Structures are given as structure tokens and as C-alpha cells.
Structure 1
Amino acid sequence: MGFQPILPFGGMAGWTFLQRTQEAQKQAFNAAPEIRRDTEYFAEKIGEVTSAEDLVGDYRLLKVALGAFGLDDDLPNKAFIRKVLEEGALDPTSFANRMVDKRYLALTEAFGFDLGTPNTALSDFPARILDAYKTRQFEIAVGAQDNDMRLALSMERDLGAIVDADNTANGKWYAVMGNEPLRQMFETALGLPSTLAALDIDDQLTMFRDRAKAIFGSGEVAQFADPHARDELNRLFLVRSQINAGRAAMSSGSIALTLLQTR
């Protein structure tokens, strides 16, 4: 087993520790034999890949490619991924463009198999994909110990991409709601129930926007272009998540005590 991230605390204390030690921990994690073998193989072989068929036909290359975009669970779904990659991103009616989850669009844009020459031929392509892969794999390892920390780590990238996208104000909220990790962060930070997803999408939008305005002073996602606003969102998420966990533990303890008292 390779290096496992060290997280001695939860909540804000744990986040502060992780932020302070993150670079050193990442270096130790990336030096693990499995990560090193995967990245070296990808760097050596990806330049030979010229089609979606080539990529999905090589398990080790596909593992890194999907891992770079947080799509590790799709590794067995080769036909599905091939369709995403072959239809590409240029056609607005393509499979990836029609999907709610925009990680697939990012994947096919990155590889560019619908271009005359795919991006795999570019000299800086391996480094860009491998940087994303190593970052995502570190987040997964962190999440194995504390999923709140994994969500906090991914927030900067995922929310930043939505904020920077050329989209309407409503469209940015829909993108947040369609990104499961971000949605979970916002629901927790804003004190919204997970059952909110059962409502009509427009009603959900109204609740997210109204609660954000009440807490942050603005109801728009664009406010999180400000690093201070992102930090406050992250702080609220971690604090409220820890409070919720404490309440759940207390509730479980009360149930156990009641059962003992009735024996």
C-alpha cells in the first residue's frame, strides 16, 4: 500500500492542517509505486493514441484519462466512453454536450478526437492530464478517510470552472446543482435538506438562490469568483458538516441508551 494522507482532525482544524501540509503529502502520495507506474506509462504511450478506439482499448491509458476527470467509476463502461469521445464537443447536439454532467464534455474537449489532429499529439498534453490525474487521485485518498475534506479540496476547481464559464446566472446555478459534490457542499453550507432534490428544478433554484442571498448577501454563483467568498463557503460547509455529524452521533447514542434502559 502506498502513502495514505494524514488527517489527524476533522472540521476546520483538519482543513487547516491539510492546507499546511498538502504539498508535502501530495509529493509523498505521487511517489507511491502504483501512481508512478500509471503516470510513467501514460506519458510514454499517449502520444501513440489517435482515436477513441485506441484509448478505450488500452486499460491503463483509459484508467488515467478517466481518473483525470473524476470519472474512475466509468472504467468498465467502454462503449459509453467511446461514444462520448467519438462524438466530441464541436457539435452542439453531441452526446457530451447534451449530458448534465459536464465532466464528460471536459473529457472529450481535452482529447479532441473530433478535431483534425487530436490533442494527444500536443507536447504538453501528457503533463496537463497527469497533473489532473494526480490531483484527483490524492483527493480520492483523502476522501477515503474524510469525505468532507475531499469535497473541500475539489471545490476550488469545480466551482471555479462554473464561475468562469460563459453561462447565464440561472445556468451557473443549474451547473452547481448538477455537480453532485458541489451540490452537497452548498446544501450543507446553506442549511438545505438533501430532500430538496425531489422538488421541481425551478423551485430548487429559488431555494438555493434565496438562501445564498440570506447568508452571503448575494443570490448569484458569480460572487464566488472572490476567493474570500469561496473560503467562507468552505468554512460554513466544514463547520455545519461537523455539527451535523455530532448531532447524528448524539442521536445514535440516545437510541442505544434507550435500548439499554428498556432491557
Structure 2
Amino acid sequence: MDTYTSYQLITKDITKSLDQVEAQPVVKRDTDYYLANIGNVKTIDDFVKDTRLFTYAMKAYGLGDMAYAKAFMVKALKEGVADEDSFANKLTDKRYAAFVKAFNFAAYGETATLFPAAQQDTVDKYMRQTLEENAGETNEGVRLALYFDRKASSITNWYDVLADTALSSVVRTALGLPDSFASADIDKQAQAFEQKLDIADFTDPEKLSKFLTRFTSMWEINNPTSTAQTSVSVLFAQPTTVGISTDLMMAMQKLRF
């Protein structure tokens, strides 16, 4: 199943896609544990000592690969986000500040884990992260498209895009720029993006959809899908297709910037 078709299949009914992720036995078991126990956490030390809870929360915010860095996260959590010069706020990667804001022990102390941000909101983020990771296991282009779709509304300038390797990869691919372009002067990269795209379009669902259609189409051309059956096709019980699908060819014919 090609990149374009796989992405469209997932996003056609995103609620259904997320429900299917939530129903996976391992995901359900970990989520049940998280919801049953997170409200009992009263301190930062308690939080990081429960590896199962902490890892779940970190993954929800896209920080799963940093779950081992507990001392680093303790420092971020202790300083909070109220002060613009706090540790989390000074980090270039804004995911850390988002995590600290959700588990705001610095501001709310023992009640920090009782707020929606630490409870259902974190679960919702975990489901979306898992959906993207599952897709990425067999098609990185689908993962990138899902990620861009999730982040698009928060993009305010091209430097936000260039600071995020995944976002910038999507834009370069959609514009037909080589990976080597990423080593060019940062201001020249931003200027090139600005000349080709209106960043405000990313907040318009229809225009964003058109952009991601272009990206998934270009990704498929550059990275032809293997003939092996993908996890996406298994998840949705659809047969795989080999090569470029009719839907993809039709979508490509409509692409215009």
C-alpha cells in the first residue's frame, strides 16, 4: 500500500484509527495502569520512580527516548514553567516545556497529577504518538505526514519548522528539495520555504490536506513502497497494492502550488 493511500486510510476516520490503537492489548493494559495510578502520585520523586508511569507519560509527549534521563527531567519538573528562564523554557525543544506544564508539580504540588492535562489529555497524546509510531514501523512517510498534521496548527514561522528535523524533512520533500539542502544557511532555507509556501496555509484544513497530499505523493516517488504487506494494511484489513495506486496517480494530477 503506497504512502498516500496509507495516510488517507488512517486519516479518513482518525477517531476510528485511534480507537483501534487503544484496543491493542499492550496499549490497553498500560493505559489502564496509568489512569489507575497517576492520580496517586504526589511528588516528582514518586513520579520518576514509577518507571511504568513515567515512561508512559514521556512517550505521550514524544520524549520516550529520553525516559532514562530521570535526573534531567527532575530538574525540569522542579523548576516548572512559570519563569521564562526556567530550565524547561530555555530548552530549544518545546516538548519539555509542554511536559512540565502538564505535570506542573512546581505550581500545584501534590495535586499536579489530578488535572486533566496529566490524566486524559496525556492518554490522548499517548494514543496519537502510538498511532504515528505504528505507522512509521513500515512507512516513515506516513509517520511524518501524521506528525506534520498534528503539529501544523502550532507552526508560526519557518524557523519553527527548521528547528524540527521531521517538519523540515516534510517541507523539503514536498518542495522537491534534496536532503543536502538542510546543510544550507538557515536564513536561506527559511527564505526558500517562504518563497514557495504561505505558512498560514497550515492552519487551513483544506490547504493543509493538499500540502500533505503533495508530500505523501512525493515521498512515494522517492521511496517506493515495498511489496511486503504493511502493518497499516493489516490494521485496517485491506489488501496491499504494489506500486503507485490509482488514487495516488489521481492525487498527483491535481497537485499545484
Is TM-score (shorter-chain normalized) higher than 0.5? yes
The answer to whether the 8 A contact 2:7-2:146 is kept is no
Aligned to 1:162, which of 128, 132, 155? 155
The answer to whether the 8 A contact 1:12-1:239 is kept is yes
Between 1 and 2, higher relative CO (CA 8 Å, sep ≥ 6) is seen in 2
**Which amino acid in the other structure matches residue 92 of structure 1?**
E
> Corresponding residue for 2:86?
94
* 1:232 to 2:197 alignment: no
> Corresponding residue for 1:188?
173
Taking the TM superposition and a 5 Å limit, the aligned residue runs for 1:129-140 are 129-140=122-133
1:201-222 per-position Cα deviation (integer Å, ceiling 9, x unaligned): 222211221232xxxxxxx422
Q: Which runs of 5+ in 1 are unaligned?
A: 1-8, 164-171, 213-219, 250-263
Q: Specify whether residues 161 and 123 from structure 1 end up closer, same or farther in structure 2 by C-alpha distance, changes over 3 A only.
A: closer
1:58-78 per-position Cα deviation (integer Å, ceiling 9, x unaligned): 101111111111111111111
C-alpha separation between the residues in 1 aligned to 2:63 and 2:37?
A: 20
Instruction: Give identity over the alignment, percent.
Output: 33
The answer to whether the 8 A contact 1:159-1:176 is kept is no
**Which amino acid in the other structure matches residue 47 of structure 2?**
L
C-alpha separation between the residues in 2 aligned to 1:123 and 1:243?
A: 42
Q: Specify whether residues 24 and 89 from structure 1 end up closer, same or farther in structure 2 by C-alpha distance, changes over 3 A only.
A: same
Taking the TM superposition and a 5 Å limit, the aligned residue runs for 1:99-178 are 99-117=91-109, 118-122=111-115, 125-163=118-156, 172-178=157-163
Q: Specify whether residues 26 and 230 from structure 1 end up closer, same or farther in structure 2 by C-alpha distance, changes over 3 A only.
A: same
The answer to whether the 8 A contact 2:55-2:64 is kept is yes
Q: Shift of the alpha carbon at 1:18?
A: 2.6
Q: Secondary structure at the match of 2:105?
A: coil
C-alpha separation between the residues in 2 aligned to 1:123 and 1:211?
A: 40
Taking the TM superposition and a 5 Å limit, the aligned residue runs for 1:199-218 are 199-212=184-197
C-alpha separation between the residues in 2 aligned to 1:174 and 1:54?
A: 37
The answer to whether the 8 A contact 1:119-1:125 is kept is yes
1:191-247 per-position Cα deviation (integer Å, ceiling 9, x unaligned): 2222223233222211221232xxxxxxx422311111211110111111111124x
C-alpha separation between the residues in 1 aligned to 2:159 and 2:184?
A: 14
C-alpha separation between the residues in 2 aligned to 1:54 and 1:44?
A: 15
The answer to whether the 8 A contact 2:174-2:214 is kept is yes
Q: Secondary structure at the match of 1:114?
A: helix
Aligned to 2:72, which of 62, 75, 80? 80
1:34-83 per-position Cα deviation (integer Å, ceiling 9, x unaligned): 11121111111111223322211110111111111111111111112222
C-alpha separation between the residues in 2 aligned to 1:196 and 1:82?
A: 37
**Which amino acid in the other structure matches residue 213 of structure 2?**
R
Q: Shift of the alpha carbon at 1:21?
A: 5.7
Query: Which is worse superposed, 17-26 or 32-41?
Result: 17-26
> Corresponding residue for 1:4?
none
C-alpha separation between the residues in 1 aligned to 2:181 and 2:74?
A: 34
The answer to whether the 8 A contact 2:102-2:117 is kept is no
Taking the TM superposition and a 5 Å limit, the aligned residue runs for 1:241-260 are 241-246=219-224
Aligned to 1:14, which of 3, 6, 9? 6
C-alpha separation between the residues in 2 aligned to 1:229 and 1:18?
A: 18
Q: Specify whether residues 104 and 143 from structure 1 end up closer, same or farther in structure 2 by C-alpha distance, changes over 3 A only.
A: same
Q: Shift of the alpha carbon at 1:125?
A: 3.7
The answer to whether the 8 A contact 2:11-2:17 is kept is no
**Normalization by structure 2: what TM-score?**
0.80
C-alpha separation between the residues in 2 aligned to 1:210 and 1:196?
A: 15
Query: Which is worse superposed, 85-94 or 229-238?
Result: 85-94
C-alpha separation between the residues in 2 aligned to 1:104 and 1:21?
A: 30
